[in-house]
Amino acid sequence: MRKDGGGLIFLMISHEIGQSFQLPFLSDLYTTVEEQYPALQTLIANDIPYDTKSSFSLYINHRKTFTGITDNDRSLTIKRFAELSKKTIQQSHENHLDNLGKEFRSPGHIPICIASEKPLHNRFGHTELSVALLTMAGLTAVASGCEIMGDNGKALSKAKAKKYAQDHHLCFLEGKEIIEAWNKWSK
Please check whether residue 149 is in contact with residue 6, taking contact to mean a CB–CB distance below 8 angstroms: yes
* Helix boundaries (H) for 68-186: 71-90, 96-103, 126-136, 158-167, 175-185
> Residue 164: its pLDDT value, please?
94
Q: What is the pTM of this model?
A: 0.92
With H, G, I as helix, E, B as strand and everything else as coil, classify residue 121: coil
What's the pLDDT tens digit per position in 146-174?
Answer: 999 998 999 999 999 999 999 999 999 99
Report which DSSP code applies to 23: P
Nearest Cα neighbor of 25 from 52, 7, 62 is 52
- What are the structural domain ranges in the chain? 6-185
CA atoms in the 13 A half-sphere facing the CB of 31: 8
> Residue 89: its pLDDT value, please?
87
**Which run of H or of E encompasses 43?**
helix 38-43
139 phi, psi to nearest 5 deg: -105, 165
By DSSP bridging, strand 104-114 and strand 6-13 are parallel
> Residue 54: its pLDDT value, please?
84
Please check whether residue 163 is in contact with residue 45, taking contact to mean a CB–CB distance below 8 angstroms: no
> Residue 161: its pLDDT value, please?
94
Q: What homologous superfamily is domain 6-185 in, according to CATH?
A: DHBP synthase (3.90.870.10)
Q: Which parts of the chain have pLDDT scores under 50?
A: none
